[in-house]
Amino acid sequence: MKIEKIEVRRLHLPLKNPFEASFGVLAKRDFLLISAHGEGETGYGESVAMPFPFYNEETTDTIHYMLETFMIPMVLTNKIEAPEDVSRLFEPIRRNNMAKSAIEGAVWDLYAKQKGISLAQALGGKRKEIDVGVSVGIEPSVEDVVKKVEGFVAEGYKKIKVKIKPGFDIALIDALRKRFGDSLPLMADANSAYTLDQMDVLKKLDQYNLIMIEQPLAHDDIVDHAVLQKQLKTPICLDESIHSAEDARRAIELGSCKIINIKIGRVGGLTESKKIHDLCEAHQVPVWCGGMMESGVGRAHNIAITSLSNFTIPGDTSASSRYWAEDIVVPEVNFLKPGILGVPEGPGIGYDINWRVVHALQVEEKSYTMADVTS
Ligand SMILES: O=C(O)CCC(=O)C1=CC=C[C@@H](O)[C@@H]1C(=O)O
Ligand SMILES: [Mg+2]
C-alpha cells in the first residue's frame, strides 16, 4: 500500500457537559486528527490521550511530539505492505501506545479504503449491529447519578457503567439496584481507587449482581487483582493494567481478571487489539470496547473492532450526542435502534469528515511528506 502524505490537525472539541472521572474533569477534548493519504484515498485516526497524564503516561502534547519526531518519519520512509506492518515497525519504541494507535488507525482506515472494504471487514468482523452501553461520569451525589442513569436507560443503552471510589460505592450501587432492580445490566469502574485493605467493601459490592468491577486495584497491577478475584464472585475487568496481548496473557494465566476492556489507543492500535481479542477468545475471556470520549472518528474505529466475535459485552461506544453538540463526522454516530449501532458497510470507517466542523475547531495543522521527513 502507498502512503504519500500524513496530516496532523489539533482540534478542541467542547463537551456538552463536563465529564468527571478519576483523572479529573474534562470540559473539552484536545486531540489530534490524523489523515493518511495514498492512492487517492484518505484514512483517518485520532489520538485519545487526555490533556494530563493521569489516565496513562501520555498527553496530547507527548503524542504530537512522538508522531512528528519518530512515527510519521518511520511510516513515510518504510515499506508498508499491510496495516499490520505499522505496529511491527513501532516495536522498538517503548509504550507511547496512544501515539502509535493514532497513526496506525489512520493507516488501517486507508488500507480498507484502498481495498474498497469496510474497516470491520478488514479486521475480520462479521457483526452488522452492535449493542452499546454508556459510561456515567462522577456526579456530586447518588441522586444525581441515579437521575443520569434514568436518562440513559430511557434511551435504551444496553449496559450502564458508573464510577465508584471509597465512600461513593455501596450507597450508589444500592440506590441503583433499588431504583432499577437486578435486571439492569450494571457495572462499576473504580479506576484503581481501592487496595486489598478495602477487601470488605469490595466483598459487599459482590452481593449486587454487577456484570463486573473494572480495575478496582492499582493501574499497573495483576498480582493483587488475582488475590481479589479469588475472593469475589463478580468478574474483575482490567482496563489500565492491560497494554498488550502479553499483558493479557499474563493476567489470564494469573487469574487476575475474567473480562478485559479493550481500548484501541491504550493497547497501541487495532492490530494489538485483534491479538488481545483472539487470545481472550481462546481462553473464554469475553472482551468489550472501552471508550476515551472519542470524536466520531475514534467511535467509528471502536464500532469496527466491536464487530469481532468475542466482543460479547456492550462497550462504552455511546452515540455522538452523549458528549458532542456537533461531532466531526457525518452522519453522526446515531442509534440504529435503541442501544444499538449499525456497523458501517461502506469503505473504511464508513463515516465522512464534517470539514465545516473540523475547520471551526482546529487550532493547528501540519502535513508531512517523504520530502519533509528526509530533508
Ligand atoms: O468514552 C466514554 O464514554 C467512556 C469514558 C470512560 O468511562 C473512561 C475514560 C477514561 C478513563 C476513565 O474515566 C473511564 C474508563 O476507565 O473507562
Ligand atoms: Mg476503565
Compute the distance between CA of residue 328 and CA of residue 357 in angstroms, rounded to an integer. 6
320 lines ligand 1 (CB under 6 A): no
pLDDT above 90 for 355: yes
CA of 275 relative to ligand 2 center, distance in Å: 20
> Which residue out of 48, 316, 327 has the highest number of ligand 1 atoms within 8 Å of its CB and is therefore the one to mutate?
316
List 113, 258, 263, 275, catalytic entry:
263
| Mean pLDDT, residues 249-264 taken together | 98
The pLDDT assigned to 23 comes to 78
pLDDT above 90 for 183: yes
pTM of the predicted structure, to 2 decimals? 0.98
The pLDDT assigned to 318 comes to 98
pLDDT, one tens digit per residue, over 34-69 is 999 999 999 999 999 999 999 999 999 999 999 999
pLDDT, one tens digit per residue, over 310-326 is 999 999 999 999 999 99
The pLDDT assigned to 24 comes to 85
Q: Which residues of 158-176 are buried (b: 16+ CB within 10 A; e: fewer)?
A: bbbbbbbbeebbeebbebb
| Mean pLDDT, residues 5-31 taken together | 94
CA of 292 relative to ligand 1 center, distance in Å: 5
The pLDDT assigned to 67 comes to 98
CA of 79 relative to ligand 1 center, distance in Å: 35
Residue whose CA lies nearest to ligand 1 atom number 10:
292
247 lines ligand 1 (CB under 6 A): no
Crossing angle, helix 170-180 and helix 142-155, to 10 degrees? 40
Compute the distance between CA of residue 58 and CA of residue 266 in angstroms, rounded to an integer. 10
The pLDDT assigned to 26 comes to 95
The per-residue pLDDT of the chain, averaged, comes to 97
135 lines ligand 1 (CB under 6 A): yes
The number of the ligand nearest the C-alpha atom of 22 reads 1
| Mean pLDDT, residues 180-198 taken together | 97
pLDDT band for 21, please (50, 70, 90 cuts). Answer: confident
For the four alpha carbons of 194, 196, 201 and 204, in that order, the dihedral sign comes to positive
The pLDDT assigned to 282 comes to 98
pLDDT, one tens digit per residue, over 165-178 is 999 999 999 999 99
Compute the distance between CA of residue 301 and CA of residue 110 in angstroms, rounded to an integer. 12
Contact residues for 140 (Cβ-Cβ < 8 A; gap 6+): none
* Binding-site annotation: residue ranges for Mg(2+): 189, 214, 239
pLDDT, one tens digit per residue, over 74-107 is 999 999 999 999 999 999 999 999 999 999 999 9
φ and ψ at residue 287, rounded to 5 degrees: -125, 160
218 lines ligand 1 (CB under 6 A): no
137 lines ligand 1 (CB under 6 A): no
| Mean pLDDT, residues 190-212 taken together | 97
Cα dist from 24 to 18, 146, 321, 348, whole Å: 10, 21, 22, 34
Structural domains of the chain in order of their starting residue, each with its CATH number: 5-116+354-374 (3.30.390.10), 121-352 (3.20.20.120)
- Ligand 1 atom with least separation from CA of 55: 11
Residue whose CA lies nearest to ligand 1 atom number 13:
21
Contact residues for 70 (Cβ-Cβ < 8 A; gap 6+): 93
CA of 239 relative to ligand 2 center, distance in Å: 5
263 is catalytic: yes
List 100, 159, 163, 275, catalytic entry:
163
291 lines ligand 1 (CB under 6 A): yes
